[in-house]
A and B are shown apart, each in its own frame.
Chain A
Amino acid sequence: CRASGDEKPAKFQPPPKPVIIDKQKQRAERRFLSPEFIPPRGRTDPLKYYMERKDMIQRRRVFNIPEFYVGSVLAVTTADPYANNKSNRFVGICIQRGGKGLGATFVLRNVIEDQGVEVCYELYSPRIQAIEVLKLEKRLDDNLMYLRDALPEYSTFDVNMKPVSHLDHEEIPVNKLQVRMKPKPWSKRWERPKYNIKGIKFELPEIKMKEAQKWSQPWLEFDMLREYDTSKIEEKIWKEVNEGLKK
């Protein structure tokens, strides 16, 4: 404030208006468009994808498909005619999300009684009755297939685990866990640069790691024909999906 010593009294300055940070508006800033909405690169008529998206939006209006990523723990209840109570609940970590459009799938993995089990579910299948996200988080990779060759403790999740609450405006936590593997041989040679896996703690000797780099293809990142810029497509589809869901 002004030091008292001025001859003229200073003009009354109103105090600065308080800035209210509306957390709800911050939530709207984080957009998540499910990866199956983005059409693959190709020469098919966009009308086909438009019609599929209409059906996907229609299904989403009736049934809530939550936002989740590869590495989050989900619990899925499906309708099964052969299960008791006709419904079947499976808890697992999502290791892969594949497929585009209505055939989008995700694979959940869990270890039950020392037996690793994986189930591939279709997101838009009418047999799915509920999808709950028990733990929303991301991992360092897009594809956690290496969990099959990792120690079973990294794939075990309690079937009766309580959902971990996640506040809307916060960013999705990235779990930087480095997984320890079973001794080789593995189902795929995960140390090779083509898989580009960051989430494994390789305990292999240096010679093996150097030998794996022989299969690196450093020219691939500069290949312009492989680029697929989805930002504009995503904007359009985001608007379309939002309008469809609001109705």
Chain B
Amino acid sequence: QGLLRRSVSHSFLSYASTTGACRAIQKLTRVRVVDNSALGNTPYHRPPKCIHVYNKTGVGKVGDTILLAIKGEKKKALIVGHKMPGPTMTPRFDSNNVVLIEDNGNPIGTRIKTPIPYILRQREGEFSKILAIARNFV
């Protein structure tokens, strides 16, 4: 929500919308923190928002690090799922999911209940600790 969308529906069966960079994670996207860290789960009057994407393009996909503004603090996070449809056979989630991370790559929470895509296993070296706390895979 809150991102521009142009709908292309020439036939009644194409319900997809085509846009530039959208539904993936970019600056000012509201994200959902899925681990059980205190910072991610305590309620605050503003939702956590992305303020920077560590990428050549400003668009974050699964496996990219972003900077998050939560509860008035800056925290790094790893994207584990977004609403944008990706390559076929990869899952598309109904919410933009993110796992809070320290600067050295260690996750802050201890459990991740929501399903994580298997694609993250490709970079086992960087994400081994996050994959270790994940419970379900898709």
Contact = CB atoms under 8 A, between A and B. Distances in A.
Interface of A: 78, 80, 82-83, 88, 90, 96, 98, 105, 112-122, 125, 127, 142-143, 145, 148, 185, 188, 194-196
Contacts of B119: 82
Contacts of A83: 118, 121, 137
Interface string B96-138: 0100000000000000011100111110000000000000111
A119 B118 contact: no
B92 A118 contact: yes
10 contacts: A80-B89, A82-B119, A98-B13, A105-B88, A112-B114, A113-B113, A113-B114, A114-B114, A120-B88, A148-B94
A228 B119 CA distance: 41
A239 to B, nearest CB: 27
Contact of B138 (A90, A188, A194, A195): A90
Given A83-B118, A112-B115, A196-B12, A120 B85 contact: yes
Nearest to B115: A112
Interface of B: 1, 7, 9, 12-13, 15, 34, 81, 85, 88-95, 97, 113-115, 118-122, 136-138
B88 A117 contact: no
Given A82-B119, A115-B93, A188 B88 contact: no
A145 B15 contact: yes
A127 B95 CA distance: 27
A125 B90 CA distance: 13
B76 to A, nearest CB: 22
Nearest to B121: A82
B13 A143 contact: yes
B90 to A, nearest CB: 7
Nearest to A155: B94
Contacts of B121: 82-83
Contact of A115 (B88, B89, B97): B97
Contacts of B120: 82
